[in-house]
Amino acid sequence: MKRFLLLTLFFVTGFAQAQLTNITITHGVDNPTRIAIVPFNYVGPALPEDISEIIRNDLNFSGQFESIPVEKMISYPQSEAQIQYRDWKMINAEFLLIGDITQQAGRYFANFELFDVVQQKRVLSRSVPIEGGETQLRDIAHRISDKAYETITGIRGIFSTKIIYVEAFQKPAKWQLMLSDVDGARSRVLLDSKRIILSPVWSPEGTRVAYVSYEADDRPAIFVQNLSTGRREQVTNFHGLNGAPAWSPDGQNLAMVLSKDGNPEIYTLNLTSMALTRVTNHFAIDTEPSWTNDGLGIFFTSNRGVKPQIYKVTLASGQTERVTFDGEYNARGRVSPDGKSLVMVHQRDGCCLIAALDIKSGNLRILTETNLDESPTIAPNGAMLMYATSLGNKGILGAVSLDARTKVRLPSKQGDVREPAWSPFF
């Protein structure tokens, strides 16, 4: 039950030494789309980032694509006139991406075109360059990946989004709140603390972060940080448990768990008026709130049925209903962007796995195969989710598609990685 209960932000110049690295695709779709990303044409000193390689890694990360190695390409066209479609059909390429990078007055400009090899036609062209300085080269690559992914799949790309996670170190004991690209690159320390950090979560508009820190008198308190101004505010200071913050869809309220009245219950806090409203009132433990997409209800975990299960409370009426019935343990429910699925930690045969519940039909789908999987967070396009797991007695992050066909591992160079939170679209 203790595990069931357990649920500043200043930008530091330079990048952290401990960052996610060596992304491994452990399983992809059976027939991934084969795409060739030709090395981008650039005249000048070597660039600090390989744009085309970043795009290849982005698309491979989705599990839906298989990028063709450069050494297997027969030619390297730089314009549509240079494309010989038969060359690409010979190596079974379905799509071809070409582009160029230019530099002017310290700014880099990227143009790119995407071609359907099977239909032998151009399907995407950006005549207005995406521009940025040297530090934005990865941003340029991610934005190109997003456009290519959306053009081919019809789903908005998530390669320009960010993740926040907690990294824990044993010797000396410390916790770091980290921010990085979704592929783990450019990790940055947001908070370096000797106290426990838990439950980071993005606001809906992506400008603020809420999290739990034990720095206040060595007991948990909830903090909110404005990322643009650097203003950091402690929003709770109650005795007992202050945990599991969750933003309302409009960003005006935080749901949370407080035990100030003797028992862990769900509350909401209006961040403008600081008015606190009690949502649940039960002798059982109620924790891990997560708002419904319309903001009219809250999913939460409770042991009011003896074993932890997920419930839903309607805020206007207080009516509460049990949502999960498959298995003896279901916790930390998170609803998908389309509102059709509820992702959760599900226990089966003594293992904690990540599962997705079809809210309408009640069908439960197991998404992961490892053990000790926890803290699921869903990508803003609903195609993938990230979670914390273990590999060789070390905490790492994993990612899996909601159809369970794609699985990815994101290990860390140093500490144990926990508590991922996927940003919204910016």
pLDDT of 347 over the 80 cut: yes
In a domain, 134, yes or no: yes
In a domain, 338, yes or no: yes
Q: Which tens digit of pLDDT belongs to each residue from 241-278?
A: 999 999 999 999 999 999 999 999 999 999 999 999 99
Question: Domain of 101: which CATH number?
Answer: 3.40.50.10070
Q: Indicate whether 62 and 198 sit together in one domain.
A: no
pLDDT of 62 over the 50 cut: yes
Q: Give residues with Cβ within 8 angstroms of 201, minimum separation 6.
A: 209, 210, 211, 245, 246, 247, 421
Lowest mean pLDDT among 16-30, 385-399, 404-418: 16-30
pLDDT of 391 over the 70 cut: yes
User: Confidence band (pLDDT; 50, 70, 90) for 370?
Assistant: confident
In a domain, 87, yes or no: yes
pLDDT at 21: 55
pLDDT of 108 over the 80 cut: yes
Q: Give residues with Cβ within 8 angstroms of 215, minimum separation 6.
A: 193, 195, 221
pLDDT at 130: 73
More confident of the two residues 95 and 26: 95
SS3 141: helix
Q: Indicate whether 194 and 134 sit together in one domain.
A: no
In a domain, 26, yes or no: no
Residue where the block lists tokens 């273990």? 390
- Beta strand pairing call for 286-291 and 297-302: antiparallel
**Mean pLDDT in residue range 21-27:** 57
Question: Domain of 302: which CATH number?
Answer: 2.120.10.30
**Mean pLDDT in residue range 299-328:** 96
CA-CA distances (angstroms) from residue 329 to 307, 350, 352, 396, 418? 6, 10, 9, 23, 21
Q: Indicate whether 136 and 77 sit together in one domain.
A: yes
pLDDT at 6: 32
Q: Indicate whether 190 and 119 sit together in one domain.
A: no
Domain that holds residue 106: 31-153
> Which domain-ending residue is among 153, 185, 215?
153
In a domain, 265, yes or no: yes
In a domain, 105, yes or no: yes
pLDDT at 28: 57
Q: Which tens digit of pLDDT belongs to each residue from 109-160?
A: 999 999 999 999 999 998 666 777 888 999 999 999 999 999 999 999 999 9
Cα separation, 6 vs 244, in Å, equals: 9
Q: Indicate whether 207 and 264 sit together in one domain.
A: yes
**Percent of the chain clearing pLDDT 70 (strictly above):** 92
Phi-psi region of 273 (alpha: psi -120 to 50; beta: other; left: phi over 0): alpha
pLDDT at 168: 93
pLDDT at 14: 34
Q: Indicate whether 64 and 181 sit together in one domain.
A: no
Q: Indicate whether 143 and 193 sit together in one domain.
A: no
Position 373: which residue type?
Answer: D
In a domain, 209, yes or no: yes
Q: Indicate whether 172 and 39 sit together in one domain.
A: no
pLDDT at 105: 83
> Which domain-ending residue is among 153, 179, 210?
153
Tokens read off for 293: 């997409």
Helices (H), 221-295: none
Lowest mean pLDDT among 20-34, 39-53, 320-334: 20-34
Q: Indicate whether 403 and 376 sit together in one domain.
A: yes
Q: Indicate whether 143 and 278 sit together in one domain.
A: no
Stated as kind and residue range, the H or E segment containing 108 is: strand 107-116
Number of domains observed in the structure of the chain: 2
In a domain, 297, yes or no: yes
Q: Indicate whether 124 and 215 sit together in one domain.
A: no
User: Confidence band (pLDDT; 50, 70, 90) for 77?
Assistant: very high
Q: Indicate whether 39 and 114 sit together in one domain.
A: yes
> Which domain-ending residue is among 127, 153, 179?
153
pLDDT of 322 over the 50 cut: yes
Q: Residue 275 half-sphere exposure, CB side, CA atoms within 13 Å?
A: 5
- Identify any residues that bridge with 266 across adjacent strands, giving them in sequence order: 257
